[in-house]
Amino acid sequence: MVKARVTVTLKNGVLDPQGKAIGAALASLDFEGVENVRQGKVFDLELATDDRQAAKDELNAMCEKLLANTVIEDYTVEIE
C-alpha cells in the first residue's frame, strides 16, 4: 500500500479572504508578527499498490481531475 498526502493551496496572487480572516483572528489572540496566512486543504490517501511511480502519476491525475481547481489552486503530492 502507498500512503500519500496531497496538499492543495491557492495560487500566488489569488486573494484568500479566509486566510486573511484567520490572520486577523490570530492577531486578536495576541499572536504578534503573523505577516500573512494562506489556508488550503490536505488529503490523506491510501492506494492499493506498491508501485510508487504509478501511484504518483495516479495522484497527479486525481489532482488535475478533481482534488484541485487548477484555475485558482496549486497542488503538491508527497508519498510516505
Among 1, 15, 29, 48, binds another protein (CB under 8 A): 15
Which of 70, 52, 56, 57 has the alpha carbon at shortest distance from 10?
70
Q: Which stretch binds another protein (CB under 8 A): 28-36, 49-57, 60-68?
A: 60-68
71 binds another protein (CB under 8 A): yes
Q: In sequence order, which residues have a C-beta less than 8 Å from that of residue 16 and are 6 or more positions away?
A: 10, 37, 38, 39
Sites of contact with another protein (CB under 8 A): 14-15, 17-18, 21, 65-67, 69, 71-72
